[in-house]
Amino acid sequence: MAQQKKLSGINIQFPISQLIVEGRKVVETRTYPIPAKYINQEMVLVETPGKKGKFKARMIAIVKFGESFRYENRKQFYADSGRHCVTPESVWAWTDSKGKWGWPVTVVKVFKTPISPKKRTGIQYTTGLRIPG
């Protein structure tokens, strides 16, 4: 039997997930800082279909994130849109009530073919995903 690794996964919706694997999106944005246990740790990028994908959730890459940073205001956030690829029209646009955090993408290792998770993925994170080691 082939050796396997168990990793935590992070769900990222299509088509944003594709911007990460293409190297165009180098900062993931969230409304909260990255949990300390995930900083510089290998994670599985679980691509979820969102409203535009015609597939079931699938594992497409290994990613690592550096320490997160807070965007202080809307102006600073959009000045960095070349790195995070979020526009004011996006469903992930800046909101004054929550603000935004940037998670630098430091490593992306794309799988040759997507892998179907053997378990249901969580809303944001999934633990114990098995991938070929």
Residue 92 lies in a domain: yes
* Burial (Cβ within 10 Å: 0-12, 13-18, ≥19) of residue 87: exposed
Percent of the chain scoring above 70 in pLDDT? 92
Domain of residue 23: give its range.
9-113
What pLDDT shows up at residue 87? 96
What pLDDT shows up at residue 1? 46
CB neighbourhood size of 63 (10 A): 25
Residue numbers of the chain with a pLDDT score lower than 70: 1-2, 119-125, 133
CATH code: domain of residue 29: 2.30.130.30
Give the Cα separation of 15 and 21 in Å (integer): 10
Domain count, the chain: 1
